[in-house]
Amino acid sequence: MNLEFPFDPLKRSEEVENAVTEGSKRLYYRFRPAPYYGGIVTADAVGCSFLCAYCWNYKRNLHPERFRDFYSPQQVASKLLFIAEKKSLRRFRISGAEPILGERTFLHLIEVLRPIFQKKPHSLFILETNGFFLGYRPNLLERLAAYPNLMVRICLKGTDEESFEKITGAKKDFFRYPIIALKELLKLKVRAWPALMGDLFSSEAVDRLEKFLKEKDIRAELELEFLEAYPFVLENMRKRKVQF
């Protein structure tokens, strides 16, 4: 996969989606219970529209085409439900990658959600996304709004266009799409909120982002997450000149 920084994330999304899907199946490399959110069943996938300097799954997302295990949405849901039953958990998510790269992966996600909510209507699915494709194609959002127990966490990556480009590797003009997704989801009364890697920004930059979101009428609280400083993460950040 040819990659020059900064890249067009739309083009990258298309290429990555082609590499990580086979019909309605998608590549995953692990299914596990994880300790986050007080315990959450997690399907780890590969493939992202961005390539964040701090991504804990950087190598897999750099070369998603090296993976071979395609799973249908029904297989993913049944693996997740099995772990939920065994570990008495009621929260679910997809991690390690971007769940929504384009229409095919969006439909795959919907088909994962459907059996989970059918079998466990009181469970919660936390959609962790970079929000790019959802903001680019906001007409998809109503289908997510149909699931009252779906929560959407959109990681904004940067506090402005410049920091967004430096961190994600994607061209800065695309900074606005995750914000569009967030605004539209809130309009549809979906429980959605923005997140940001707090360690990478000054308190002034975070304040500026919060003010910017308020000006856009986005009232959800900004979640600040903290860096998992694995040696390879620090090395990638050094190479990409992202200060920590």
CA dist 81 → 56, 89, 123 (Å): 25, 9, 10
Q: Name the one range near ligand SF4 by CB under 6 A: 49-57, 64-72, 86-94, 187-195.
A: 49-57
Between CA 9 and CA 130 the distance in angstroms is: 11
51 touching ligand SF4, by CB under 6 A: yes
237 touching ligand SF4, by CB under 6 A: no
Which residue, 52 or 134, is less far from ligand SF4 as judged by CB?
52
**What string marks each residue from 78 to 97 as x (binds ligand SF4 by CB under 6 A) or -?**
-------------------x
Smallest separation, CB 6 to ligand SF4 (Å)? 14
105 touching ligand SF4, by CB under 6 A: no
Smallest separation, CB 236 to ligand SF4 (Å)? 10
Which of 7, 28, 50, 92 binds ligand SF4 (CB under 6 A)? It is: 50
Q: Name the one range near ligand SF4 by CB under 6 A: 54-62, 108-116, 144-152, 215-223.
A: 54-62
User: Which amino acid, 184?
Assistant: E
Smallest separation, CB 215 to ligand SF4 (Å)? 25
- With 0-12 / 13-18 / 19 or more C-beta atoms within 10 angstroms meaning exposed / middle / buried, residue 183 is middle
CB half-sphere exposure, 131, CA atoms < 13 A: 27
What long-range pairs does 226-231 form, CB within 8 A, spacing at least 24? 226/197, 226/198, 226/199, 227/54, 227/197, 227/199, 227/200, 228/56, 230/56
Distance of alpha carbon 194 from its chain centroid, rounded? Answer: 11
Residues in the site for ligand SF4, rule: CB under 6 A? 48, 50-52, 55, 57, 61, 97-98, 130
